[in-house]
Amino acid sequence: MKKFLSKILIYISVLLIIVLGINTIYIRAERKLDLYNLGDLAGEVPDNIQICNFGSSHGQGDFNYTDLRDKYTCFNFALAAQTYLYDYKILQNYKSKIQKGVLVFIPVSYFSFLGVPETQKPDFASKNSRYYKFLPAEFIEQYDLISDIFINYFPALLPDNIRMFVERLYKPDESFFESGTDGRNAEARYKEHLVYGKFDENGKRIYNYEAVEALYKMIEELKGLKARIILITTPFIRGYNDAVKNNDPDFLREFHGIIKEIVKKTGVEYLDYSQDERYTDDYSIFVDADHLNKRGARIFTDNLIKEIFSHPSSLTTTRPAGTE
């Protein structure tokens, strides 16, 4: 009996060593490949941030601070499919890293105020897992200790992680591309953003009041930092805007109506580049109908910063420290 138990113990020990070895290798690969698409948040968040942005993929992909980092401390807090609910939580967690007088961009996309609350979406759990990587428990929606342990300490045991790992090996740069777009996906992007999951069973548009409320809270938090807050709609190709206008002519009026109300109540600024002709017809700077590629993001960000500092708003005179 003792001999049998000893063999079992040896087998379990060997299996445990193998599992731990695989897990260690996986964790190293996970960091290198950024499997959770954490972007800048995969690394260290610097102190005294002077310029930053939040947002979803339009924030993550459309802001590129490469040409500004020698003059300002910049950071991109955006993640693909991120809502204002998590923008607010990220701000709460990292506000000590943000300098007073910070310049903050909050992207406002056509889908920003549409759809059911984040926690009611079918893919909530899979997207929520990434926040276990960098947020403390109190800022994670529907926090679960077991999930935390597996995601952070035994990620190789999660089937979804293995799938992400395999996909990333075949698509090592799937988040952002260097190439341009031909714009043929404009209609599909319109449907994805303004149609699928955005209407109830009676055909009435679903407005996400949870998102709007989170945005208001975020603005109040930033005001405590004496921030210059700019809501911004980034460039889209002409075909995407045409698809919106042709299929849903009332949408833009309603969309801008919400923004106008937010601006009126909070006093923040709003900049709309969605139909700016410097960008909208240049398909070489887009990766798809509504996202800039890396080169496009660099061009847009550089132009944006120059324009803002050349024409300071009458609403606020606060600029990042070090501005000349």
Q: Mind listing the pLDDT tens digit for each residue in 110-119?
A: 999 999 988 8
pLDDT of residue 311: 63
Please name the residue that has the structure tokens 């500092």: 309
Q: Specify if 48 maps to a domain.
A: yes
Which residue range forms the structural domain that includes residue 188? 34-310
Look at residue 215 in the predicted model and tell me its pLDDT: 98
Task: Give, as one character, the DSSP assignment of residue 183.
Answer: S
pLDDT computed for residue 4 by the predictor: 67
**Residue at 316 is within a domain:** no
The residue length of the chain stands at: 324
The pLDDT value recorded for residue 322 is: 39
Q: Does 166 reside within a domain? A: yes
Provide the pLDDT for residue 170. Answer: 61
Q: Is residue 24 part of a domain?
A: no
Which pLDDT belongs to residue 122?
A: 84
The reported pLDDT for the residue numbered 178 is: 58
pLDDT value of residue 112: 95
Q: So what's the pLDDT on residue 320? A: 41
Task: Assign residue 217 the CATH number of its domain.
Answer: 3.40.50.1110
pLDDT score, position 3: 72
Q: CA 204, CA 199: separation in Å to the nearest integer? A: 5
Edge to edge, what strands does the sheet with 98-107 contain? Answer: 74-76, 49-53, 98-107, 228-233, 269-272
CA distance 6 to 178: 57
- C-alpha distances (whole Å) from 277 to each of 92, 176, 287 are 36, 23, 17
Extract the tokens encoding 168: 């990333």
How many structural domains are present in the chain?
1
Q: Give the DSSP letter of residue 230.
A: E
How many CB atoms are closer than 10 A to CB 313?
14
Low-confidence residues in the chain, pLDDT < 70: 1-2, 4, 19-21, 23, 27, 29, 31-33, 161-162, 164-184, 311-324
With respect to residue 123, please indicate whether it lies within any of the assigned structural domains.
yes
- DSSP letters, 125-148, are HHHHGGGGGTS-GGGSTT--HHHH
Q: Is 293 a member of any domain?
A: yes
Which pLDDT belongs to residue 160? Answer: 72
Global pTM value: 0.86
Q: Does residue 67 form part of some domain?
A: yes
Three-state secondary structure of 63-109: CCCCCCCCCCCEEECCCCCCCHHHHHHHHHHHHHHEEEEEEEEEECC
